[in-house]
Amino acid sequence: MSSPGEIHPRITGWGKSLPSKVLTNFDLESMLDTTDEWIRTRTGIKERRIAGEGETTASLAARASLEAMKVAGLNAEELDLILLATSTGDALIPAGSASLQKALGAKRAGACDVNAACCGFMYGLSIAYQFVSAGTFKNVLVVGSEIYSRILDWKDRSTCVLFGDGAGAIIVQGSNKPLLKPYFVLGTEGEHAGLINAPNSANPAVKSSASPYLTMDGPKIFKLAVTWMVKSTEKAIEGAGLKNEQISLFIPHQANIRIIESAMNTLKMPKERIFINVDKYGNTASASIPIALCEAIEENRVKPGEYIALTAFGAGISWASAVIQWDPKI
């Protein structure tokens, strides 16, 4: 039961931004010892977007944010907090969120970055929900924005075929209108942190690293991803007081079709209730879930009153799942 005056946070705005350049599997055939069939059968990816000259993590984030603000009917001066989830920031200092705040003209908003790799948006979303629920802030912008193409070895087919660039943004606001209390599950298994690495050129300890690019242990990541996506999703659904069959749409992190299918089969989630767009964009890391959510809304896959499950897995090793009730009107 809701208490009088209780604040119920909800997503009221959404937007995405994708670079115009498309890199297909056939394009990669001319660059690598690979084929379209090899990539598709192992990953489900057909193409991905690549940031062009002049595009930055912050500029992609700004375009997605402006869309989300327009949907929510907010102007920049009304934003209280900006959370930019990214693991490919434009600089170590300042935080990309500061550049985003400037681009939006949101002078009164606090701003910070959230780095939990592919789980960054989910961590940011959980923070936004807590602040709005507590009444600390009214209008919070959460953005996932990544340009992985600039930290990839384009001669390494085990990594470069997997990732793409893009951004997705949402607005979280509160209302007295009753809504299911969202349930978040966040976790980290630091002993496996070395399974996915990207260099930090400012750290003398890694300047002489064997690889200046992102590296990962694919087979081990696959097993851990399936395990924790399943466990965290089950815990989130149970924590929300629901059952699997009550989830209308499941939006998983779009990393690899085999990971998604394996996790969904274990959860016994029917295909028609799973949203997939990995074929078009590849793994856009923290931007993956907000981009997918935007497209699900555009395709009328999400309706008011329905329950949605979101789950992600990434470097750290980190995982994050949530169950929310969809109702964008406050």
pLDDT in tens, 153-181: 999 999 999 999 999 999 999 999 988 88
| DSSP string over 147-216 | -GGGGS-TT-TTTTTTB--EEEEEEEEEESS--PPPEEEEEE-GGGGGGEE---TT-HHHHT-S-SS-EE
pLDDT at 1 (0 to 100): 40
pLDDT at 205 (0 to 100): 55
Triad 173, 177, 178: Cα angle to 5°: 110
pLDDT at 214 (0 to 100): 87
Domains 8-175 and 183-325 share a fold: yes
Domain 183-325 belongs to what topology? Peroxisomal Thiolase; Chain A, domain 1 (3.40.47)
Q: Is the pLDDT of residue 209 over 70?
A: no
Least confident of 96-100, 122-126, 161-165, 221-225: 221-225
* Domain coordinates in residue numbering, the chain: 8-175, 183-325
Confidence of residue 92 (pLDDT cuts 50, 70, 90): confident
Burial call 57-82: b when 16+ CB within 10 Å, e when fewer: bbbbbbbbbbbbbebbebebebbbbb
* In contact, 283 and 149? CB cutoff 8 Å: no
Quote the mean pLDDT of the chain.
93
Confidence of residue 40 (pLDDT cuts 50, 70, 90): very high
Average pLDDT for residues 7-17, to the nearest whole number? 97
Which active-site residues does the annotation give?
A: 118, 253, 283
Alpha helices in 208-256 (DSSP H): 218-239
Query: What are the structure tokens assigned to 158, written together?
Result: 């085990």
pLDDT at 194 (0 to 100): 85
pTM to 2 decimal places: 0.94
Report the relative pairing of strands 166-175 and 8-17 from DSSP bridges: antiparallel
Count, residues in the chain:
330
CATH code, 8-175: 3.40.47.10
Average pLDDT for residues 83-87, to the nearest whole number? 97
Average pLDDT for residues 138-155, to the nearest whole number? 96
